[in-house]
Structure 1
Amino acid sequence: MSAQLVLRKADFFTGDGQAVAVADRYPQNVFAEHTHEFCELVIVWRGNGLHVLNDRPYRITRGDLFYIRAEDKHSYASVNDLVLQNVIYCPERLKLNVDWAAAIPGFNGAHGAPHWRLGSSGMAQVRPVIAQLEQESQKADPQAFDMAELLFAQLALTLKRYRYAIDNPSASEQEALLDKLITTLAGSLNRSFVLEKFCEQEQCSERALRQQFRTQTGMTVNHYLRQLRICHAQYLLQHTELMVSEVAMHCGFEDSNYFSVVFNREVGMTPVQWRHRSRKAA
């Protein structure tokens, strides 16, 4: 068995005194499973991909936000024009008197929800902060290190203000239409979703929304929802004792045979084979 890939501090930080840096991924390519000697915040700006975090698959796209601890193992696969930024940091190097644990889920190895979403307004607020943070992190003087940490504190608090749970439609009521659609899809894993009805409720053009969705995510609405359901099915197959027919029901498939066909087409193996392989690997 090959050794676990570990990303080292020395390859990403300019010196021992630097606490924060920015690692752009324009685009983010397929990346093997790895851990870090540091922690990171991951913000997805565009495109889509499969993000596997601690053996749990997430279909990610514009607005997804992750808090990654150093010990977490994750990888990227099936990427399509995926654009993201990693804000990396070393908790032990932070000097400001900030309640980091209250702002950053999982800070210093604690358990916390790693996956959140940002709406368009939140993304607009954090973009300039990250841009300024990136400029400071590329400098090597002590003042730049302090400025970067101040900006990181601003970023962490801004993310806390604007983030919301992925399946909480009420949290995105004031957000852009695309954000509301993505959140609604995430909350429709175990029930039917009809885009026409959504557009009627929101009084918008279905054709225009479909085009906007595809431009920003690189996927059709139906493909994205199907991928969300398959990822949820993979998680249930690995971590529960539900029968395949029950997993199908929990993931919005009324016909378990059709579920197995779709699962096999998307994953490359049957649900039973996936369950066996994933548990054996774990």
Structure 2
Amino acid sequence: MALSACDTTTDAAGRELTAHGTAAFPIACYHDDLAAEPVPWHWHEEVEMLIASEGRVLAAAAGEKYQLDEGDGIFINAGVLHADWPLNAGRCRLYSVVFHPRLVGGSPDSVFWQKYLQPLLADPSRPCAVLRRSVDWQREAIDCMERAFRAVVNEIPGYEFKTRAALSDMMYLLVTRAPAMRTVPKKALRSADRIKTMLQFVQAHYAENLTVEQIAASASISPSECLRCFHDMIGTTPNQYLRSQRLQRAAELLCGTTLQVTAIAAQCGFEDSSYFARSFRQIYGCGPTEFRRRALRAGQGIAGAAH
């Protein structure tokens, strides 16, 4: 099973659409160059373990942010909203395994699922677990993940068994050793549900002339509560998130279509082409036309588009 470049495609609710492995072997391994493109906010039914392989990573999950030094990792529980960025300028890479818990737990009727997996998956106080190599059991968990990663990528003989064994060891350590991050108040749980609803609304209506009031109304909350929720959960404002979604979609259209830049700007909700060009340059470091040229030269444009 080949190592894959991370390509996070989400649905309207921010839920990742990428199929991780197959129904028979639901796991995939990824690498990501965060200096080139951060991992956007998303969530999935699978659990994830990632390790900072180069540079320092700023990992965000469930409304908190964590600094990962080179070699450190983080476990992300199922259904948890998360994202990753480089902490500093320069090279920044991570690699990860994303797998469905049934790969380890089997069927919901099994002792593995009921005794070990379900309590972890259903515990709102453990949305994630930061793993430092300086702590013995955490280093052991990281080593387990790396064994699984190598087995999958290299397809060593019997890699399916070796992968499941390594992940079983890793999950047992997390179930038995990882402490609760905190007592999660009901308000935080409500905020998590609300932010998913509002992200869904923005993703579905990004091309329209949205207001904070409309975004707030999608979750049946006030504009001030909307602003607080965005700030606390994903560290930005509704308008900034809206603009980022418009620019992300514009980048996809530049790579995957022959539409004129002005048409793409309008289709993505930018009424002013000049403002679109300035905003695009701020995020991608070049104008839309140059971005398309670079994508074509790199073989990622039109027919070779990644999205």
**TM-score interval, normalised by the smaller of the two chains:** 0.3 to 0.5
In the superposition, the TM-score normalised over structure 1's length comes to 0.46
Q: State TM-score, norm by structure 2.
A: 0.43
Name the structure where strand makes up a greater proportion of residues.
1
